Amino acid sequence: MASIVRTGLALAAGVLLSVAAQAQSFPNKPIRVVMGFPAGGPLDQHARLLSDKLQAVLGQPIIVDYKPGAGGSVGAQDVMRSPADGYTLMLANTGVMAINPALYSRLPYNTLKDFTPVARTAMQPLALLVNNKVQAKSLPEFIAYAKAHPGSINFGSAGNGGISHLVPEMFKSAAGVDLVHIPYKGSAPAFTDLIGGQVQFMAESIPQAAAYHKQGKVRALAVTSKERNPALPEVPTAIEAGLKGFEVVGFYGFLAPAGTPKEVVGKLSSAFQQVMQLPEVRSRMVEQGADPAFLGSDDFAKFLAGEMPRWAAAVKASGTKLD
């Protein structure tokens, strides 16, 4: 029996030494970043910006691998099934991490169980917009107008269950108003109808919202972040405008498969932190509409655990379910 115990201890020690050695030499080959959306979108811009700088810090190529489909779920499954060695990461947004678990009745992954958070890299505020013909010049005026005309104001979104759908649902609950959802296939046609007046209200990410506001095509009443946004410095936050505690922003972050060694996660997280401190990266992120907002692995895990119930409540209130 004693010899069996000694053998078991020796094997365990060997495994620990092997893991430690792997972590010490990490990385010694290219790192793959999986993204569950097509190239060309905001998340792709974020991936390109960070990967260019990240490979200089880590000393290895960063390869962006597109696995689009099912709201990011195809890419998430790919990462979930990959070796937990730090050489496969997922870049995900609010939808993949926090909304999908409540939106899809048969989701093939569990955000908190199947992945190890590595780093939160950005927060993405939205602007609350109205058509120019709406008789409201401020958020309190719009809320009063909506209360006086229940069920007669339409809001557009890029589609059922997305952030541009759920933020107005959160707004409806916080403000106590009744708005009618009109889903579109993407933000472009929704914006077209907002400008044209077929819908009267919309929540959209910056800088697209800022561009239309500055062109005078729509009116921005508030931003959903805790602080004012540099792209819309004259527009108050929803909190400033009287909607107490209304801070709702999207976020981007990197995750690894569950079980990735802590030392490897630490190296990756430290590398992201270094990249996020570069002035050119921070300024470029703001131009892309994402505020630099680094969190390390442990803090990102706590953040996710707190955010998921909020988005789940919004999905439930919207009555949206996808299979």
Q: How many CB atoms lie within 10 A of CB 230?
A: 12
* CA proximity to 289, closest of 220, 199, 225: 225
Mean of pLDDT over the chain: 91
| Closest alpha carbon to 255 in 12, 60, 75 | 75
- Cα 108 to chain centroid, rounded: 19
User: Per-residue pLDDT averaged across 54-60, rounded?
Assistant: 96
Structure tokens at 71: 């709201």
CA distance 72 to 95: 8
pLDDT digits (tens, 9 = 90+) for 253-274: 999 999 999 999 999 999 999 9
182-228 confidence digits (pLDDT tens): 999 988 899 999 999 999 999 998 878 888 999 999 999 999 999 99
263-293: b (≥16 Cβ within 10 Å) or e: ebbbbbbebbebbbeeeebeebbbebbbbbb
User: What does the pLDDT read at residue 7?
Assistant: 58
Tens-digit pLDDT profile for residues 221-242 = 999 999 999 889 999 999 999 9
Cis peptide upstream of residue 150 (ω within 30 degrees of 0): no
Task: Check residue 6 and give its pLDDT.
Answer: 57
Q: pLDDT band at 8, cuts 50/70/90? A: low
Averaged pLDDT for residues 34-45: 90
Task: Note the pLDDT of residue 2.
Answer: 59
pLDDT tens, residue by residue, 291-323:
999 999 999 999 999 999 999 999 998 888 887
Structure tokens at 255: 């995750």
> Which residue, chain included where needed, has tokens 């630490």?
266
Check: CB of residue 223 under 8 Å from CB of residue 235: yes
- Which one-letter DSSP state was computed for residue 87? S
In this prediction, residue 288 carries a pLDDT of 85
Integer Cα distance of 310 and 101 in angstroms: 12
Contact 296, 269 (CB under 8 A): yes
- pTM for the model stands at 0.86
